[in-house]
Chain A
Amino acid sequence: MSKSISELEELARKCRVEIVKMVHRAQAGHPGGSLSEIDLLSALYANYLRAKPDDPNWDDRDRFILSKGHASPGMYAILAEMGFISKNDLESYRVLGGVCQGHVDMKWCPGVDFSAGSLGMGLSFGMGCAVAGKLANSKRNIFVMLGDGEIQEGSIWEAAMAAKHHELGNLKVILDRNRIQNDDFCEAQMRMFDIPAKWQSFGWNVMEIDGHDMNEVIKGLDFLIDNKDNPAILVAHTIKGKGVSYMEDNPSFHGAAPNDEQFKQAMEELGEVVA
């Protein structure tokens, strides 16, 4: 039932359309990091993640923890495509009482395994899920998506050290290396130098890919799945705002909504006809 490369690309395109629609409708939110992560999320959800949209709390499901919880439009878009929530639910993004809270929240939205918002927390939570999986003798995998700016938080490295200490081979991290954080490029805010080498030095298995080339995404996710005895991280090189020309590689669209004219342009670039 796996989707082909072209099917995954089309899934990601549809998600991109929904991401831009959500942020435009709310006139707030984080489009840049949602667009950078979405090829990875599309492949993960469609072809890898063991979860049941009609039974989102199934005990033995794989977990997916969006630690960079501000990039929630990307997650809501794929959850809607997979059937965890409805397309109508996407209209509740940032709306009072809506399942699509500003940052992903396990108490509000089916299919969300972690209440995110503060950076640097998801990996530790994933570690707890991974320890639980081992205690339960389960084969479930725990996927955690981190932002690159996020790994400036010290708590990430507490978790990185602890995950290796406990040999959590069921813990799999995807790093969305889009090179931009809230205020500016990461390089300007806090240089991180050789990220793969840092994780390797903590004892993790590391692979680098182009996070927008679906063939490479598949190879990268295969790498994570095949690593069973060691924590592993996929460093996915991405472009913030990927797919919308004026958002691409532009720190201004980390957390800003397009105006009506920009929205129309985005829909055209994403191959969506606006009525």
Chain B
Amino acid sequence: MSRMAATRDGYGQALLDLAANEKVVVLEADLGKSTKSLHFRKEYPHRTVSCGIGEQNMLLTAAGLAASGYVPFASTFAIFTERAFEQMRNGVARPNLAVHLCGSHGGTHTGTDGSSAQSIEDLAIFRTLPNVIVLHPCDDVSTRLLTNQLADINQPSYTRTARNKTPVLYDGREDEIEIGKGVVLQNGDDVAIIACGVMVSEALKAAEQLADQGISATVVDMHTIKPLDEDLIGRLAEKCGAIVTAEDHSIIGGLGSAVAEYLSSNLPKPLERVGVKDRFGESGQADEMLELMEISSPFIAEAAIRAINRK
């Protein structure tokens, strides 16, 4: 049984790692206990800026800090980052200020809080902004490593983390994590499943189900949505000839769309996109939500067979 953890814990740990850099500052909008920036706040209160329940102000306060030579990490729930989208667009992305925004509690996996808290469009909207790196890691280890790497990159970013625990995949595999590089977790020849976030472990389960039917699948953790690892997608399309994407996010605009954009322009191959089908969620347990949204492992396996049949 593998270790279980939530990606948001990796974010909190990374902030502590980064504290040695005195230019690192943390901004909160009354959700530090949830996003896990609270650990930094407790240790380094003078470098933590409480913005109250005011996300718009938080984003631009971070921009002012970045323009003054600091390295700001700001977090709130994924859904509330969307309230500050124009601040992110005009005040952060446009002047290319290295503000690092983390939205926790992303996706329907967030669970019983219900549809208001289940951001299913954050990856899509931030992906449209020039200069902005978009990350959605699958476990605490990779979240910690990717967040640490962000501090050395002089451009803004959005990272989605999740509330609930999922299997940890990278204990002992820390060397494989690099911004912009998808990770091949399992090799197979018949189909490639490209997943992000909480769907990576579902994709691995789907690969097992496919193996039972004699189908061998490659599984990729595409933790970086932008810039997309196009080289890897191209190689997988050539090798497997069929692709499935899997994300706890709207079918419109996220990882599936990014992969479709690349394939349709460069290497048309059958693609099936598993994601939230243009609808809102509701209250339910995390695993119940993945089933209700038809994105849990059996749905990924079905999509893989559909993609293979279209070859």
Residues of chain A having any CB pair with chain B under 8 Å: 59, 105-107, 113-115, 117-118, 120-121, 124-133, 135-136, 154-155, 158-159, 161-162, 165-166
The residue of chain B having its C-beta at the shortest distance from the C-beta of A155 within the complex is B56
How many residue pairs bridge A and B at CB < 8 Å?
100
Among A113, A126, A135, A159, find the residue whose CB has the most chain B CB atoms closer than 10 A.
A135
- CB-CB under 8 A for A161 and B54, given A107-B95, A115-B95, A166-B49: yes
CB of B301 within 8 Å of the partner chain:
no
Question: In the complex the two chains form, is B86's CB within 8 Å of A118's CB?
Answer: yes
Q: Are A121 and B90 in contact (CB under 8 A)?
A: yes
- Given A127-B57, A128-B60: A118 in contact with B90 (beta carbons within 8 A): yes
B96 touches A129 (CB 8 A): no
Interface stretch of the complex, out of B65-73, B194-202, B245-253: B65-73
- B14 proximal to A (CB < 8 A): no
Which residues of B line the A interface, CB within 8 A? 25, 46-47, 49-52, 54, 56-70, 72, 86-87, 90-91, 94-96
Q: Which 5 A-B pairs have the closest CB atoms?
A: A128-B64, A132-B68, A124-B60, A158-B54, A158-B57
Q: How many angstroms from the CA of A131 to the CA of B69 in the assembled complex?
A: 12
Q: How far is the CB of A121 from chain B (nearest CB, A)?
A: 5
Task: Point out which of A130, A158, A161 has the most chain B C-beta atoms below 10 A from its C-beta.
Answer: A158
A159 contacts across to B, CB distance below 8 A: 54, 57, 60-61
- Which residue of chain A has the shortest Cβ distance to B64 in the bound complex? A128
Q: B64 and A130: CB pair below 8 A?
A: yes
Can you name 17 A-B residue pairings with CB atoms under 8 Å? A115-B94, A118-B91, A124-B60, A125-B67, A127-B57, A128-B64, A128-B67, A129-B68, A132-B65, A135-B70, A136-B68, A155-B54, A155-B60, A158-B51, A162-B51, A162-B61, A165-B50
Give CA–CA (A230, B52) in the complex, Å: 19
| Chain B residues whose C-beta falls within 8 Å of the C-beta of A117 in the assembled complex | 90
Q: How far is the CA of A133 from the CA of B68 in the complex (A)?
A: 8
Determine the chain A residues whose CB is within 8 A of the CB of B72 once the complex forms.
128
CB <8 Å contact, B90 and A124:
no
Shortest Cβ gap from A2 to chain B (Å): 27
Residues of A with C-beta under 8 A to B90: 115, 117-118, 121
